[in-house]
């Protein structure tokens, strides 16, 4: 093994271990909140996307409907759409079962590690190493979390309820890359909190998307119609 | 407490996610995503994540969640900005919240 490969292995292992902590917290919080253990386990197996799983379960635990949960989780994972195009040369070749697994293993982590490599061979290697390790650890951690969640009776005393918002905040902060996005996210979050007492659970988070209006502020002359048209193919995927 | 997550919702979320993931390998020869659309989607994710973080940190049901949870989440946010490793951020949130509750702050 070359030193570069050894560093790559180590980085992949560290990132996957960090995700395992989140996976365990997901399993524990979902079961402690009253969901049967198979729900978080099935979600980790078949959805395999931390942010979307946590968003959907947060909404359900807050009393929101399944439609709002799927809409929020789905929209959050719309970023997988551009990822799919980015790694299509890796996931779009080989026998059908390998393509199927490649598609399912398309995550922030696998795409990031693959893009960090120079040659096609290294990209392929980094993608699969991350995908397989993450899938294994994420699901084992979820199961371990559900066991802990069903055993812990007083979850409040352990501060378990603070882990989901902490994960989402830590995921949100790096995505706020410019002032317009910051304004949109700040306004949206403030509106969502203000509307929580009056709207049915799950809706305030969807209403917060109105904050996106900031993106078009001050460039209505020409950019707005183009942007609205450009957004439609991406939005079509939510139906 | 009767919390429910119907099988249809679990399958629906898995299907939506798979759709997003599979579109690239399937359609890569026929079209590409406009960069502008990609930016809007990424901003939409930022708005949703922050709103979910804020509402789940501050509210419980239709009311205020108490001070311990938002305090723990705030500490996590500061650590995240300082690029502290992810597991530490998550565990710090739980720890701060748990300690505040131990001290009698709900």
The per-residue pLDDT for range A51-71, each reduced to its tens digit, is: 899 999 999 998 888 999 999
Location of structure tokens 């050894």:
A6
Give the DSSP letter of residue B4. Answer: -
Q: Judge whether residue A171 has pLDDT over 90.
A: no
Q: What is the rounded distance in angstroms from the CA atom of residue B1 to the CA atom of residue A167? A: 25
What are the backbone dihedrals phi and psi of residue B43, each rounded to the nearest 5 degrees, phi first? -65, -40
DSSP string, A45-65: HHT--HHHHHHHHHHHHTT--
* Contact at CB, A47 and B51, closer than 8 angstroms: no
CB B49 within 8 A of CB A76: yes
* Average pLDDT of chain A, as a whole number: 86
Helix (H, G, I), strand (E, B) or coil at A29: helix
Out of A103, A170, A189, the one facing B54 most closely (by C-beta) is: A189
CA atoms lying within 13 Å on the CB side of residue A98: 11
* Polymer length in residues for chain B: 106
Contacts of B43 in chain A (CB under 8 A): 180-181, 184-185, 212, 215
* Contact at CB, B9 and A69, closer than 8 angstroms: yes
Provide the pLDDT confidence category of residue A79 given band limits of 50, 70 and 90.
Answer: confident
Q: Which two tokens stand for residue A227?
A: 């942007």
Cβ neighbours of B69 (radius 10 Å): 30
Listed by number, the residues of chain B in 40-79 with a beta carbon closer than 8 Å to a beta carbon of chain A are 40-59, 61-63, 65, 68-69, 72-73, 76-77
DSSP string, A110-139: HHHHHHT-SSHHHHHHHHHHHHHHHHHHHH
CB B72 within 8 A of CB B92: yes
Long-range contacts of B33-37 (CB under 8 A, 24+ apart): B33/A81, B33/A82, B33/A85, B33/A233, B33/A234, B34/A230, B34/A233, B36/A226, B36/A227, B36/A230, B36/A231, B37/A230, B37/A231, B37/A232, B37/A233, B37/A234
Provide the pLDDT confidence category of residue B15 given band limits of 50, 70 and 90.
Answer: very high
* Contact at CB, B17 and A188, closer than 8 angstroms: no
Nearest residue to A56 (alpha-carbon basis) of A66, A45, A41, A48: A66
* Residue partners of A45: CB distance under 8 A and separation at least 6: A139
Q: Judge whether residue A196 has pLDDT over 90.
A: yes
Provide the pLDDT confidence category of residue A220 given band limits of 50, 70 and 90.
Answer: low
Nearest residue to A82 (alpha-carbon basis) of B67, B104, B90, B41: B41
Q: Which two tokens stand for residue B79?
A: 């650590």
Q: Judge whether residue A126 has pLDDT over 60.
A: yes
Distance set, CA A36 to CA A13, B6, B33, B78 (Å) = 30, 11, 39, 33
What pLDDT score does A62 carry? 87
Q: How many helices (H) and strands (E) does chain B have?
A: 4, 2
Q: pTM (2 decimals)?
A: 0.81
Q: What is the rounded distance in angstroms from the CA atom of residue A105 to the CA atom of residue A98? A: 10
């Amino acid at each position: 093994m070359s030193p570069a490969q050894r560093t790559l292995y180590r980085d992949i292992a560290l990132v996957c271990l960090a995700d395992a902590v989140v996976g365990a917290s997901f399993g524990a919080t979902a079961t402690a909140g009253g969901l049967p253990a198979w729900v978080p386990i099935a979600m980790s197996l078949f959805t395999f996307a931390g942010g979307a799983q946590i968003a959907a379960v947060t909404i359900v635990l807050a009393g929101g409907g399944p439609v709002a949960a799927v809409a929020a989780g789905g929209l959050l994972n719309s970023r997988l759409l551009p990822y799919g195009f980015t790694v299509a040369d890796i996931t779009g070749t080989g026998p059908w079962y390998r393509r199927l697994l490649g598609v399912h293993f398309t995550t922030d982590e696998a795409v990031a590690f693959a893009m960090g490599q120079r040659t096609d061979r290294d990209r392929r290697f980094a993608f699969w190493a991350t995908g397989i390790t993450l899938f294994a650890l994420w699901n084992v951690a979820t199961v371990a979390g559900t066991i802990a969640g069903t055993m812990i009776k007083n979850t409040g005393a352990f501060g378990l309820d603070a882990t989901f918002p902490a994960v989402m905040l830590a995921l949100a902060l790096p995505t706020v890359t410019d002032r317009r996005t910051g304004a949109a996210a700040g306004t949206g979050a403030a509106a969502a909190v203000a509307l929580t007492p009056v709207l049915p659970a799950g809706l305030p988070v969807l209403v917060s998307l109105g904050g996106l209006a900031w993106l078009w502020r001050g460039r209505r002359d020409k950019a707005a119609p183009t942007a609205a048209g450009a957004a439609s193919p991406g939005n079509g995927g939510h139906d | 407490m009767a919390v429910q997550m119907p099988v249809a919702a679990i399958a629906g979320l898995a299907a939506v996610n798979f759709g997003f993931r599979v579109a690239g390998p399937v359609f890569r020869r026929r079209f590409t995503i406009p960069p502008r659309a990609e930016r809007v989607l990424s901003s939409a994710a930022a708005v949703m994540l922050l709103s979910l973080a804020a509402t789940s940190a501050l509210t419980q049901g239709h009311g205020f969640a108490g001070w311990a949870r938002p305090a723990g989440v705030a500490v996590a946010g500061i650590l995240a900005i300082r690029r502290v490793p992810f597991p530490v951020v998550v565990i710090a949130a739980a720890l701060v919240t748990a300690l505040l509750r131990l001290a009698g702050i709900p």
